[in-house]
Amino acid sequence: MHVRYAVAIFLPLLIASVVVVMLTLDLVARVSVGANIEDRKRSLQTVESALSSAQQNLGRFVSDNAYWDAAARASYGTLDDSWLSESFATSTEDGSSYDIVLVVDRQADAALGGYKSGESFKPDIVEYFGPKLHRLVQLFPEDLEYHDPEVSIMKTADGLAIVAVSPIVPTTEGLLAPTERPRYLVMLRMLTNSFVQILADQYVVQD
């Protein structure tokens, strides 16, 4: 493997890993307020639980919204942006459950549609995520069956985020032509300072 190629692959992964470690240490500091040294191990376990819970919640949310006849009707062929807007735009504006929603195809190199902060958002996927979203999408079999969501923490152009992906498939058998290539719903929860503080408040370790 050429050195330049190796650096191009592993440097973004290293940076993302360092950022996740920094986030974990920050959360440990927040939930350990008032705790003694003996509580630090318990604090780390609490932080891991908080991050795991946030990832599971987003995974369930993206799965519920992707495994849906209406989503399948709107997402295949020409994407129905009015459905995407009505279903997700407001939620990306208030950020109560997620901050960004995207629809991508198997190649995951450009967003077919999406919303961020209530506005249309179609980023260049490679510029926004690097190669990481493509790798996450490729974990799914190339079929139109239900599969459990894939969830990861990624460094994006807007900062660190929990990213959840689920194939868009109908609950009604035969709704889509078997020749359709799968498309995917992507949801992001940005790990902003305010959201990290919410996690810390929910999982605070008492004396």
pLDDT, one tens digit per residue, over 185-205 is 999 999 988 887 877 777 664
User: pLDDT tens-digit profile of 77-122?
Assistant: 999 999 999 999 999 999 889 999 999 999 988 899 999 999 999 9
Q: Which residue has the tokens 């940076």?
A: 15
pLDDT above 50: residue 167: yes
| Residue 185 backbone dihedrals phi, psi, to 5 degrees | -95, 130
The reported pLDDT for the residue numbered 127 is: 96
The reported pLDDT for the residue numbered 45 is: 72
C-alpha angle with apex 30: 117 to 198, nearest 5 degrees?
30
Task: Specify the amino acid at residue 142.
Answer: E
193 neighbors 23 (Cβ within 8 angstroms) = no
Q: What is the chain's mean pLDDT, rounded?
A: 83
185 CB burial (10 A radius; 0-12, 13-18, 19+)? buried
User: pLDDT tens-digit profile of 42-87?
Assistant: 666 777 788 889 999 999 999 999 999 999 999 999 999 999 999 9
C-alpha angle with apex 61: 103 to 15, nearest 5 degrees?
70
Of the candidates 23, 78, 19, 65, the one whose C-alpha atom is nearest the C-alpha of residue 47 is: 23
The reported pLDDT for the residue numbered 120 is: 97
The reported pLDDT for the residue numbered 20 is: 58
Mean pLDDT confidence for 121-134 = 96
CB count, 10 Å around CB of 50?
21
Residue 87, classed as helix, strand or coil, is helix
Beta bridge partners of 162: 153, 189
